[in-house]
Amino acid sequence: MRRPIIAGNWKMNNTKAQTYALLGELVPLVADAEAEVVVCVPYTSIWAAGEAIKGTNIKLGAENVHWADKGAFTGEISADMLLEQGVEYVIIGHSERRQYFGETDETVNKRVTTALAKGLKPIVCVGETLEERENGKVEEVLVRQTEGAFKDVVAAELDNIVIAYEPVWAIGTGKTATAQDANDTIAIIRGTIAKLYGEKNAEERVRIQYGGSMNPKNAKELMAMPQIDGGLIGGASLKAVDFS
Ligand code: 13P
C-alpha cells in the first residue's frame, strides 16, 4: 500500500568526483531494491548525480528549494532550476536548516506548496529537540510542524509528499530512537494527517520515514515497524555498501 522509500541526504558532502565514485558503486548494489531509492545531493553535484544514475532505479533529489520563481535571492535555487536538472524529490525543513538558517514552519510551508505546484515531491522533515522531548512537548511540536507544513496542501497532492520524522537528538549522534518509540511517534504524525485529510488518506497515501542515525545495524528493525515507511539517511548514505 505504501511503498517504502529510502533516501540519502548527503548534506554538505561530496565533490563532483566523489559523486561519480559513490554512485558508480551504489548503482549495482541497489539495482534490485524493492524500495524506492533516492539520493538528495548538494546543488553542485546534481548534474553529475543525474548522469551517474541515468537509466537506473535511483531517483534524484535536492536538499532545499526556494519559493520564488526567480529574482534577487542570493544563494537560493528555484524549483524550475531543479526540475531542469531532472530532480524529482526535494528535502524541505530539515532540522539543520531550522537550527542554523532560520527556517520556520511558515517558510517550510512556502517551499512545500511551491514545490508541489511545480511538480517536485517534497520530503518534509519534522522532529523534536532533546529539550522538547524532555519537557514532554513531542506531540505539541510534531502537530505544529506537520500542520504548518501542510497548510494549503490539498488532498490530491498527498501521494507526492513524504514526511521524514527526524528526532533532532538522534541526528548524527549515533543515538537512534528505539524502533518502538519511532513507530509510536510516527503514529502521532499520521494521526495529525488523518485529522487533516481523513483516516484513509493518512493510512494509504502518506509515507513517513524515520531519520536519525539509521544504519545497517538498526535499519531492519526500524523498517519492520508498521508505521515506518522508509528512512532518510545521513552519514550512512555516504558509503555505498552501508546505504544499500
Ligand atoms: P544521520 O543519519 O547522519 O544521523 O542524519 C540523519 C539526517 O539528518 C538525514 O536527513
* pTM of the entire predicted model: 0.98
Q: Is 209 in the pocket of ligand 1 (CB under 6 A)?
A: no
Residue ID of nearest Cα to ligand 1 atom 7: 234
Question: Is pLDDT at 142 greater than 90 in this prediction?
Answer: yes
Q: Is 171 in the pocket of ligand 1 (CB under 6 A)?
A: yes
Is there a catalytic annotation at residue 66? no
∠244-219-37 over CA atoms, to 5°? 40
Span from the CA of 38 to the centroid of ligand 1 (angstroms):
14
Q: What is the pLDDT of residues 54-65, one digit of tens each?
A: 999 999 999 999
Confidence at residue 177, expressed as pLDDT on a 0 to 100 scale? 85
Q: Is 232:35 a contact under the CB 8 Å cutoff?
A: no
H runs (alpha helix) in the chain = 16-29, 46-52, 79-84, 95-100, 105-118, 130-134, 138-150, 179-197, 199-204, 219-223, 240-243
Residue where the block lists cell 496542501: 153
pLDDT above 90 covers what percent of the chain? 97
Q: Is 88:61 a contact under the CB 8 Å cutoff?
A: yes
Cβ-based neighbour number of residue 163 at 10 Å: 27
Q: Is 209:229 a contact under the CB 8 Å cutoff?
A: yes
Distance of CA 56 to the CA centre of its chain: 20
Residue ID of nearest Cα to ligand 1 atom 2: 234
* Catalytic residue (one of 36, 63, 94, 157): 94
Confidence at residue 1, expressed as pLDDT on a 0 to 100 scale? 81
Distance of CA 191 to the CA centre of its chain: 19
Q: What is the pLDDT of residues 3-30, one digit of tens each?
A: 999 999 999 999 999 999 999 999 999 9
Q: Which atom of ligand 1 is nearest to the CA of 96?
A: 8
Q: What is the pLDDT of residues 198-215, one digit of tens each?
A: 999 999 999 999 999 999
**Type of residue found at 178:** T
Confidence at residue 135, expressed as pLDDT on a 0 to 100 scale? 96
